[in-house]
A and B are shown apart, each in its own frame.
Chain A
Amino acid sequence: DTGVSQNPRHKITKRGQNVTFRCDPISEHNRLYWYRQTLGQGPEFLTYFQNEAQLEKSRLLSDRFSAERPKGSFSTLEIQRTEQGDSAMYLCASSANGMRSAKLFFGSGTQLSVL
């Protein structure tokens, strides 16, 4: 059973460029979450999917951010026109349905640095 996989592990970009991150959840998990974590803080919820449907978006997710999960498997998070304030660790997590499965499995994250 492989865990949640995120690529790339690190991304350095210049302000104004677009970046895209990928997340591959645990294969049988139908729920997928994106979080953002800045230095010294806990992760903050961005958005989540159940299968291919995006069910909730945080107000932290500005118009420059878009997330997709086209076939209910992997997901991508794109940030357009990056700003220095976007520098953070972007974490992906997945979970199965059901109360017994009420816990998230996290990937190792993508560390974004915007210069």
Chain B
Amino acid sequence: AQKVTQAQTEISVVEKEDVTLDCVYETRDTTYYLFWYKQPPSGELVFLIRRNSFDEQNEISGRYSWNFQKSTSSFNFTITASQVVDSAVYFCALSEDANDYKLSFGAGTTVTVRA
């Protein structure tokens, strides 16, 4: 069974619009980590954010914010006032072992920001 589901395959927006990426995960563990990574055309995965399962406080970091809902197993990610440089593939990932940080990735959402 897929552990991380990103239902949106592609999203296209005009610059300055907000973009929200959905992520639903599945785990039996009570302690786990959730991540968002960005993969620009250069190919290198870039770490964006991490949340611990025991901390449901939602935060904002610059133009990024996230909404972690344990009750619905969702970890959504929002880019506010999108820019062309935000165009990339965004991956949600789950780590179920606090010791090895092995990640299970979703299939990714391609975000295209048009000028």
Contact = CB atoms under 8 A, between A and B. Distances in A.
Contacts of A65: none
Contacts of A103: 35, 47, 50, 101
Interface in B64-115: 91, 93, 95, 98, 100-108
B44 A107 contact: yes
Contact of B101 (A40, A43, A104, A106): A104
A104 B47 contact: yes
B60 interface: no
B22 to A, nearest CB: 15
A107 B103 CA distance: 15
Contacts of B107: 40-42
Nearest to B33: A102
Interface string A21-55: 00000000001010000001111110010100001
Interface of B: 4, 33, 35, 37, 42-47, 50, 91, 93, 95, 98, 100-108
Interface of A: 3, 31, 33, 40-45, 48, 50, 55-56, 89, 91, 93, 95, 99, 102-109, 111
Given A41-B108, A104-B103, A106-B37, 8 more contacts: A42-B4, A42-B93, A42-B106, A44-B105, A50-B100, A56-B100, A102-B95, A106-B45
A63 B81 CA distance: 48
Contacts of B46: 106
Given A42-B93, A99-B98, A109 B104 contact: no
Given A42-B108, A108-B44, A109-B43, A102 B101 contact: yes
Contacts of A40: 107-108
Contacts of A95: 101
10 contacts: A3-B44, A40-B107, A42-B106, A42-B107, A43-B103, A45-B103, A48-B102, A55-B100, A56-B100, A102-B101
